[in-house]
Amino acid sequence: MKHSNISVFIPHMGCPNCCSFCNQRTISSTVKAPTSEEVTEILDNACRKLHDPHNTEIAFFGGSFTAVERSYMVSLLKAAQPFIEKYGLIGIRISTRPDCINDEILSLLKQYGVTSIELGAQSMCDDVLAANDRGHTADDVKKASALIKSYGFELGLQMMTGLYMSSPEDEFYTAEQIIAIKPKTVRIYPVVILGGTKLADLYQSGVFRTYAFDEMAEICAKLLEMFEAAGIKVIKLGLHSSDEVQGEAVGGYYHPAFREICLGINFRKKIESLIGGEGSCKILVNPKALSMAAGQKKCNISYFAQKGISIKIVADESISDINEIKVIRETL
């Protein structure tokens, strides 16, 4: 069964920094921090509707969870903990900053049923982190990650691509450094420039120049390949779709189907490596891979047509691997 989260958003509070890209009100779609009573109500309503509680986590996202006032953090954990046993949930997932992790915090999280911790690494290049006012270093990410793993938590890392002062080489270096840390999961967020942020000011003044959208998609497609080859699951690629984000975005790489675009790029490359020059061929794929093989709005079919190659994507039930491709060359 597919993993799912019951998400509880905590607005930007307690965080010691205001990063260049941050407009937390827009991301979390809320201003008011939920009380423990409201968290109980949210979880109660959500758990009653669950189809597969054993593959479900409670997820506190939106802010730096371990940087909020300690009594408030504990009140949220106390509100969530009873639902783990009552419904047989996996546990609690939280996200926070690398410089807001220590032994005392991890012991507390363990006590209240937290099982997964995600760190917002964003980049593993210190100059990029400094340019975007992150307030921590790459070494902080490494140390916090090691400590989290030593306590037996599942580790997730988040990276952002296309940040101010970051280059494609920096993106790949960051991925290599993250792979070396060996997290269980990764989230990749191509930067979205939101109004009211430092990035927006830099972008609108012409100081911050972004890549072309297609270039960013190619970069992220490669990152996806790198993490998958290392056995690290990419659980998110692209910012989640919301009216608030679309309304606030002034630049960057927002697209509601960003992951699908990247998957299409990787399928295109696989197909290209298997077929020759001009002609016609059938591309056999797992039925679940049909849209990915065709590409966003069938762009892969158009791509090959421009090269004089006619391809037909066909579902084949005998292909069990969603990434497998078989080519049948058609002759006249």
Q: Tens digit of pLDDT for each residue in 134-163?
A: 999 999 999 999 999 999 999 999 999 999
CATH 3.40.1260.20 in the chain is located at 273-330
Mean pLDDT across the chain = 92
Instruction: Quickly list DSSP for 250-267.
Output: EEE---TTHHHHHHHHHH
**Is the CB of residue 285 less than 8 Å from the CB of residue 324?**
yes
Residue 13: which pLDDT band, with cuts at 50, 70 and 90?
A: low
Per-residue pLDDT reduced to its tens digit, 24-39: 644 544 457 899 999 9
Q: Is the distance from CB of 57 to CB of 5 less than 8 angstroms?
A: yes
pLDDT at 19 > cutoff 50: yes
Burial class of residue 212 (count of CB atoms within 10 Å of its CB; 0-12, 13-18, 19+): exposed
Q: Would you state the pLDDT for residue 199?
A: 96
Q: What is the CATH topology of the domain spanning 4-183?
A: TIM Barrel (3.20.20)
Instruction: Give the amino acid at 297.
Output: K
Question: Mean pLDDT, to the nearest integer, of 199-219?
Answer: 96
Single pTM value for the model: 0.92
Give the tens place of pLDDT for each residue, 237-263.
998 877 667 778 999 999 999 999 999
Q: Which residues contact 131 (CB under 8 A, 6 or more apart)?
A: 20, 163, 164, 165
Q: How far apart are CA 177 and CA 207, in angstroms?
A: 28
Q: Which residues contact 194 (CB under 8 A, 6 or more apart)?
A: 21, 23, 26, 200, 245, 248, 249, 250
Residues carrying CATH 3.20.20.70, the chain:
4-183
Mean pLDDT of the region 121-133? 97
For residue 217, give every residue at least 6 positions away whose Cβ sits within 8 Å of its Cβ, in sequence order, or none.
Answer: 253, 258, 261, 262, 265
Q: How confident is the model at residue 47 (pLDDT cuts 50, 70, 90)?
A: very high
Place of tokens 């002062």: 165
Task: Assign domain 273-330 to its CATH architecture.
Answer: 3-Layer(aba) Sandwich (3.40)
Q: Between residues 332 and 314, which one has the greater pLDDT?
A: 314
By residue count, the chain amounts to 332
Percentage above 90 pLDDT, the chain: 82
d(C-alpha 38, C-alpha 128), whole Å: 38
What is the per-residue pLDDT for 39?
96
Q: How far apart are CA 320 and CA 267, in angstroms?
A: 16
The pLDDT, as a whole number, for residue 28 is: 46
Looking at residue 128, its pLDDT comes to: 98
Res 227: pLDDT: 98
pLDDT exceeds cutoff 90 at 223 = yes
Tally the C-alpha atoms within 13 A of residue 240's C-alpha that lie toward its C-beta.
Answer: 12
- Residue 95 corresponds to which amino acid? S
Q: What is the predicted pLDDT for the residue at 30?
A: 46
Residue 62, pLDDT score: 75
* DSSP structure class, residue 206: T
